[in-house]
Amino acid sequence: MEFYDSRCFALWGDNKAGWVHSEGENGVEGVLSMWHKEAFEYSSHVKGRGFLAVTGVHTKLNCLCIVVDVYVACSLSDKAVMWEALSNIRRVNQNEVWCCCGDFNAVRSIEEMKGVRGFSSQKREIKEYNEFSDKNVLVELPIVGKKFTWYKSDGSAKSRLDKFLVSLEWLQMWPMSKQYVQPREVSDHCVVVAKSWVKDWGPRPFKTIDAWLSKFGFMDLVKGKWNNYEVQGNRMSKLKDKLKFLKGDLKE
């Protein structure tokens, strides 16, 4: 399918979408990556067999991100080519925030498939898939909803082919990230959405453990530390800073 601005704007819902398209091989494995221009500042992209990697800056957090959309063929040789290509890109971009997502057409364990024949022939594929994620320090987001993302038309077989693999840097930016499997509708694949819910509960409370109060010398320790803190500012500012310092000393 040919893509152009008006078609992508219609898919997105407004004209603030940026996009890049990879046609794949002979119309197969095509990938379309889209982003909101006010949230993501595009800088470059790399097209490869079975993937499309887009680099840019997350404008709100001002961090450099690489988002890789994956749609690879079933053959192990094609997957091996993709894993090697992504590993090479990862090797020279280790500090960026990484997210690999899409249809990997592979599972990482026997628990991710049911009713699928020929598991013994997939042992090598599972091993290489896990080696790819381990070598590049990519972890799968916790899953919410359905356990499987692909279903055979008659329901006799199902697998977890679609997922989000992210770097530790991603988890530092969005520690509450999860992947949500949506109901299956037109496709034999379920849509999978990654979200990070952050609830602002206000200032964090200062906490203690009751058992500390019964420990010999605890109150003397607190009083001694508290009286030795040198802080500046008004009363509330001093109280806040002293609690902060005391928290660190209690942990120690």
Q: Who's near 185: CB < 8 A, 6+ residues apart? A: none
Q: How big is the chain by its Cα radius of gyration, in Å?
A: 24
Q: Global pTM? A: 0.74
Q: Please state whether beta strands 138-140 and 113-114 pair in parallel, antiparallel, or not at all (unpaired).
A: unpaired
Convert the pLDDT of each residue in 155-212 to its tens digit. 889 999 999 999 999 998 998 999 999 988 889 999 999 998 766 666 666 666 777 8
In this prediction, residue 47 carries a pLDDT of 93
40 neighbors 27 (Cβ within 8 angstroms):
no
125 neighbors 161 (Cβ within 8 angstroms):
no
Distance CA 92, CA 248 (A): 37
Closest C-alpha to 105, from 82, 87, 84:
82
In this prediction, residue 127 carries a pLDDT of 93
Q: Please state whether beta strands 162-167 and 51-58 pair in parallel, antiparallel, or not at all (unpaired).
A: unpaired
Low-confidence ranges of the chain (pLDDT < 70): 1-2, 26-28, 118-121, 198-208
In this prediction, residue 27 carries a pLDDT of 57
In this prediction, residue 247 carries a pLDDT of 84
Tokens of 161: 């082919």
Q: Does 5-196 carry CATH code 3.40.50.2300?
A: no
How many Cα atoms are found within 13 Å in the side-chain-facing hemisphere of 90?
A: 24
Domain ranges of the chain: 5-196, 210-251
In this prediction, residue 28 carries a pLDDT of 64
In this prediction, residue 153 carries a pLDDT of 85
Tokens of 53: 């990697």
In this prediction, residue 6 carries a pLDDT of 86
